[in-house]
């Protein structure tokens, strides 16, 4: 399964054939079907393995860090997203996100998981900065939307400089909010947002 996950991370999901996957894991297509029942089942299991690796790597970068503001953690994480280590995950799961939206997709549950996996981690980062649970959840939701949108935009047209500049602006707004929060009390800077 590790070899299949490695291959998906290297090559991506679009247009993947059973023959290619069999070659990558050094077995015949017939043996793959015998062991896994179908190409689809093998891909689901390989995606599960790749997803577990992604969660481990991304959680390490997104988790709150002692003595650091969460805006700084997010800035470092965005920089890491451009690394050779992170790029295969972003490509594979970007493709999966698109495929999961197709009616009848075997990957439909991924859309829900792709939100629920990251929301608590990012929320914990904002809670560590002193926000209450409800406000931290709102900020985590906004942050994930900003990150996903900018990643999709950058991947679509290849303009990483523009999307990175936009993310730096978002982080500067988070830092400004933090300064206002410390001047006026723990929730005041965020409490006045329109509802």
- The pLDDT, as a whole number, for residue 184 is 53
Phi, psi of 105 (to 5 degrees): -65, 140
CA dihedral 97, 138, 186, 150 (to 10 degrees): 40
Counting as low any pLDDT under 50, the low residues of the chain are 186-195
User: Domain total for the chain?
Assistant: 1
- The pLDDT, as a whole number, for residue 155 is 82
- The pLDDT, as a whole number, for residue 191 is 44
* Domain-located, residue 71: yes
* Domain-located, residue 76: yes
- The pLDDT, as a whole number, for residue 8 is 79
* Domain-located, residue 65: yes
* Domain-located, residue 142: yes
* Domain-located, residue 119: yes
Dihedral sign for Cα atoms in the order 116, 118, 124, 127 = negative
Domain that holds residue 156: 50-182
Q: How many CB atoms lie within 10 A of CB 34?
A: 10
Distance CA 34, CA 51 (A): 24
* Domain-located, residue 41: no
Cβ contact 144:119 at 8 Å: yes
For the chain, the C-alpha Rg in angstroms (whole number) is 19
Q: Which of 6, 120, 108, 3 is nearest to 54 (CA)?
A: 6
* Domain-located, residue 38: no
Which residues in 114-142 are b (16+ Cβ under 10 Å) and which e?
Answer: beeebeebbbbbbbbbebeeebbbbbbee
* Domain-located, residue 35: no
- The pLDDT, as a whole number, for residue 26 is 83
Dihedral sign for Cα atoms in the order 112, 114, 119, 120 = positive
pTM for the model: 0.78
């Amino acid at each position: 399964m590790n070899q299949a996950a490695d291959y998906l991370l290297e090559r991506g999901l679009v247009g993947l054939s059973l023959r290619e996957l069999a070659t990558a894991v050094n077995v015949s297509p017939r043996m793959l079907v015998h062991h896994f029942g179908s190409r689809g089942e093998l891909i689901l299991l390989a995606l599960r393995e790749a997803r577990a690796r992604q969660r481990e790597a991304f959680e390490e970068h997104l988790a709150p860090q002692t003595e650091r503001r969460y805006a700084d953690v997010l800035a470092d994480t965005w920089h890491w997203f451009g690394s050779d280590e992170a790029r295969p995950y972003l490509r594979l799961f970007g493709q999966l996100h698109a495929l999961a939206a197709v009616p009848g997709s075997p990957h439909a549950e991924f859309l829900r998981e792709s939100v629920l996996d990251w929301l608590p981690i990012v929320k914990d980062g904002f809670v560590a900065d002193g926000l209450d649970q409800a406000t931290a959840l709102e900020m985590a939701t906004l942050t994930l939307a900003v990150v996903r949108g900018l990643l999709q935009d950058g991947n679509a047209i290849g303009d990483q400089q523009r999307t990175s500049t936009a993310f730096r602006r978002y982080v500067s707004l988070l830092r400004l909010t933090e300064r206002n929060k410390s001047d006026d009390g723990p929730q005041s800077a965020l409490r006045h947002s329109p509802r």
